[in-house]
A and B are shown apart, each in its own frame.
Chain A
């Protein structure tokens, strides 16, 4: 993401990741107090800073979490994560069935669900919305979970000519999407996929109204016309949604205001105005919060100590896990990092406690494994990568690689304050603990991305992942060999890994899946495919008058509680 000199927290550059995720009930969601009395309607205003303006208000074009935080409140997908995040629950659909072969998902839509203009939500709206998402001419950024061998016929996505309307229409009409009656939406899959219920919670899978899109475009248009297809998403008057809120005002680069959708099936929300500001500078947002201008704030790293030292602010602070993991990517295709001992030595020479306590201000937590705390598969029993300088030195000696060769390596670093601060610490750890002289190679962010895509680096970091949805499939697919230079950059060679993960992805047995994923995780750790570092936590401030806010690790870190704003309210103050 494009960030200027005012650096965002690292997790914000997680791009498409960090979307839907879950957390076990144990460390799970937190709800703010509900005791005080309800403030009058005129004071029911919730003001949040998302930091960045959404690129689009068309849910199909939204690829970042700060966009989804707005989109999810305006458009409601079929399912949503349960408040305790253990499973999915009904949203636009009240329930769903899976055929015994795992290939057919039938979603039963709510009969009382209405659009913000009062018309009923029908299965045809979902068919249109999903086909629109899969239209190659629209080039939706977050389409992969839908075409990655999931929906029948969608695997052909890459071969459709985006300039040929009849080819597009043939492709879209051949997809396994149907509406046998207005309240039944049926999806046929290519392969069994136990995680598909989570794909159905993604905001991009929202229903879209064909009549609204076409009237905003001035009538029907060919499938190749992306400009006409997006015309509706530019004005609040044509952004008709089925979520608890509707868009009332867009002030470009400044803020967007949402108001209750009086037609929402679960009842109109108590919050009368939901305002998302786009203040890029964290320190400015912090000042706005302190002058009473914001109700919820993600604390900038630089201000964490200010909050901790302030009697009033520290009481309003909350520390919550996010489903993220960060690591050092080693280019395993290139000497000397094709040597497992070298990789393990580097991984074992980093004091992760010092990193999280001193460099990351004690908000984030050390992580020596892949799956973060709060997700199925979180397991810290494998301590192979733990900090141990003596063992690291031994491994380095055993590797037989000369110090001169090791010192030729550089750590590729994005030119952002966050990345530089972390990597300066890591290089210092390696150089001090192992007697090396490894240098940072600091380059602008876009150039770094183009370099790692070509495998043109020695070590790159911190690299990371944020859950799209709370299923291990979303994580383990990253290190499949087919994702080399697409989702992972070091391209580790992992014998047997692909077959194991693919088996787990398709399996209908939850316990068998988890066992297979556990084996895969052990393989990632023990071969030092990457050097695991830490899990990011949210450090947020919430004004005492915000009540009944349910915060979960699936939320955008800037917008805690965004999945459950329809039940939040403001107390008298």
Chain B
């Protein structure tokens, strides 16, 4: 639809199909979203282009074996023909673009006869569930701890929460995961004679979720807690906070309306990428807990030079990150009334 600038009549006879849309806040927001979504098309195009060039530059072919006996040259030639790798590179690229525009992302080289879309759609629900649940822990716990630490700066509460945050940020996932498996799996199993213990592998909408979600949430929680604390401390020193206290407002009102809302802007900025990071899966958490998600898909695809799978996962990741950033930008509007989208 075409839109005229508000309040200014178009010159000449009005076109019959011209629709006059009032420039309300909702409309400008909607237009902003549409524009941002359209911008994703060139973004994804360049992601595909760069990935395509880089992966073909990486030495080694998809048919090289990790060691030992290699495929016969005749078999390799047939595989190249089967997957179109006998065509020139630019033809392969254009063909991929054409197919991708029709939502056909090709067949995986690794998994015989399985499409990339099938492999991603099959694994992503697991990854997304874990990531979304972890995010639900990260937001309240991370922000909560950060605020408490800031409001009680240089007290025991502050040291305790920041101690936890330092621990969470510096312990690698695989160490935490393996420790939890040993403590809540093996040790608990041996102590209780196999009656009470947490399952150590696999996915299930039950106690299977506890260990991987906690492991996954630990690092981002620590990160968000530190960020919230720093930002809150900064806000506490602002003059409007002093004014609020001086007006005699209750602590509750000062904290929620004046401090929290202002100190959350940098935190929300960080939450977007954090969400994208969580729902695209962690290689380490998925490997340690044997989760059949897509977190490992990208790494194994790169290692085995599974070109369609590399492109498919890269496109997915780029879209998730773009969407997460868009949501963050929209959230600014609600948190900070000064922000105008254009």
Please give the residue numbers on chain A whose beta carbons come within 8 Å of chain B beta carbons, in ascending order.
1-4, 6, 10, 13-18, 53, 55-56, 58, 61, 136-141, 143-144, 147, 157-158, 162-163, 226-227, 230-231, 233-234, 251-255, 277-281, 283-285, 287-288, 290-293, 414, 444-447, 449-451, 453, 463-466, 468, 486-487
Contacts and interface: CB of A to CB of B under 8 A. Distances in A.
Interface in B42-69: 58-61, 64-69
A284 B189 contact: no
A15 B111 contact: no
B303 interface: yes
B203 A254 contact: yes
B70 to A, nearest CB: 6
Contacts of A141: 71, 75
Given A55-B110, A445-B67, A163 B81 contact: yes
Contacts of A446: 58-60, 64, 66, 303-305
Nearest to B69: A16
B78 A137 contact: yes
A252 B291 CA distance: 10
Nearest to B115: A227
B28 to A, nearest CB: 44
11 contacts: A3-B303, A227-B113, A253-B123, A254-B203, A278-B292, A279-B290, A280-B296, A287-B182, A291-B197, A450-B60, A486-B73
Nearest to B194: A292
A466 B69 CA distance: 9
Nearest to B294: A253
A15 B81 CA distance: 22
Nearest to A419: B67
B78 to A, nearest CB: 4
B66 A251 contact: no
B59 A14 contact: no
Contact of A58 (B67, B112, B288, B292): B112
B201 interface: yes
A429 B89 CA distance: 46
B105 interface: no
A2 B303 contact: yes
Given A288-B201, A449-B65, A4 B112 contact: no
Interface string B184-227: 01100110001001011111000000000000000000000000
Nearest to A445: B66
A234 B304 contact: no
Contacts of A157: 74
Interface in B294-319: 296, 299-300, 303-305
B70 A231 contact: no
Interface in B86-140: 107, 110-114, 119, 122-123
Most A CB contacts (10 A, CB to CB) among B60, B77, B178 go to B60
Given A252-B292, A254-B203, A291-B189, A447 B112 contact: no
Given A2-B304, A279-B201, A280-B287, A450 B64 contact: yes
Interface of B: 58-61, 64-75, 77-79, 81-82, 107, 110-114, 119, 122-123, 178, 181-182, 185-186, 189-190, 194, 197, 199-203, 283, 287-290, 292-293, 296, 299-300, 303-305
A158 B74 contact: yes
B290 A281 contact: yes
A9 to B, nearest CB: 12
A16 B200 contact: no
A143 to B, nearest CB: 6
Nearest to A279: B290
A1 B72 contact: no
Contacts of A139: 75, 78-79, 81-82
Contacts of A144: 72, 75
B112 A233 contact: yes
Contacts of A288: 200-201, 290
Contacts of A486: 70, 72-73
Contacts of B78: 136-139, 162
A14 B68 CA distance: 5
B66 A453 contact: no
A468 B72 CA distance: 15
Contact of B200 (A230, A252, A293, A468): A293
A231 B74 contact: no
A486 B76 CA distance: 12
Contacts of B107: 227
Most A CB contacts (10 A, CB to CB) among B61, B79, B182, B290 go to B290
Contacts of B201: 277, 279, 284-285, 287-288, 293
Given A291-B186, A291-B189, A231 B65 contact: no
A3 B75 CA distance: 23
Nearest to B110: A55
A163 B80 CA distance: 11
Contacts of B81: 137, 139, 162-163
A76 B190 CA distance: 41
A292 B196 CA distance: 12
Contacts of B189: 290-292
A24 to B, nearest CB: 24
B200 A284 contact: yes
B283 A4 contact: yes
Contacts of A140: 75
Most A CB contacts (10 A, CB to CB) among B114, B185, B201, B202 go to B201
A43 to B, nearest CB: 15
Contacts of A14: 67-69
Contact of B64 (A6, A453, A465): A453
Contacts of A158: 73-74, 77
Nearest to A463: B67
A309 B82 CA distance: 52
B65 A15 contact: yes
Contacts of A453: 64, 70
Contacts of B71: 16, 141
Given A1-B65, A4-B303, A281-B287, A55 B75 contact: no
Nearest to B107: A227
Contact of B111 (A55, A227, A285, A292): A55
A550 to B, nearest CB: 26
Most A CB contacts (10 A, CB to CB) among B78, B123, B200, B202 go to B78
A293 B197 CA distance: 12
A287 B200 contact: yes
Given A139-B82, A450-B61, A17 B69 contact: yes
B289 A284 contact: yes
Contact of A487 (B58, B69, B74, B290): B69
A162 B74 CA distance: 11
Most B CB contacts (10 A, CB to CB) among A15, A53, A234 go to A15
A465 B69 contact: yes
Contacts of A230: 112-113
A164 B74 CA distance: 16
B112 A254 contact: no
A429 B77 CA distance: 41
A414 B289 contact: no
Contact of B303 (A143, A252, A445): A445
Given A234-B113, A291-B194, A291-B200, A449 B186 contact: no
Contacts of A444: 303
Nearest to B302: A2
A519 to B, nearest CB: 24
Contact of A447 (B60, B123, B178): B60
Nearest to A14: B68
B82 A143 contact: no
A143 B72 contact: yes
Contacts of B69: 14-17, 465, 468, 487
A17 B70 CA distance: 9
Contacts of B65: 1, 13, 15-16, 449
Contacts of A231: 113
A251 B82 CA distance: 27
Given A281-B290, A468-B69, 20 more contacts: A1-B66, A16-B70, A17-B69, A55-B110, A137-B78, A162-B77, A162-B81, A231-B113, A254-B292, A277-B201, A278-B290, A283-B178, A284-B287, A290-B190, A292-B189, A292-B194, A414-B67, A444-B303, A449-B65, A450-B64
